[in-house]
Amino acid sequence: MSNCWPVLTSQWRRELLTKFGLDFTLVDREAIRQQHSDELLVWREADYALTSVDFARQKALRQVLSSVEWANFIPELFNRTGERG
């Protein structure tokens, strides 16, 4: 699973596909709604899942995410750069 900022999910999905040939499933509220079933299903069925930091940090979703076994988890962390003074 890869975890990034919401504005980057579509860009990351495209780049992961074009640069590495990895077809990530974008998991968000809409993806879970379309499943019409247990919200765990979308996470368990995706070979590669991509979600936003904001979506993944929801209290209700944390329990779901912790119950799925991950081979890899790649969080995207942004550090503020610039002058400090």
Query: Could you list the mean pLDDT of each consecutive 10-residue stretch along the chain, which spans 85 residues?
Result: 67 89 87 75 84 83 82 61 49
Nearest to 28, CA basis, from 67, 47, 4: 4
Task: Supply 72's token pair.
Answer: 């890899």
pTM, full prediction: 0.69
Predicted confidence at residue 17, as pLDDT, reads: 92
Predicted confidence at residue 85, as pLDDT, reads: 47
> The sheet that has 25-26: what strands, in order across it?
25-26, 49-52, 2-4, 74-75
Predicted confidence at residue 79, as pLDDT, reads: 45
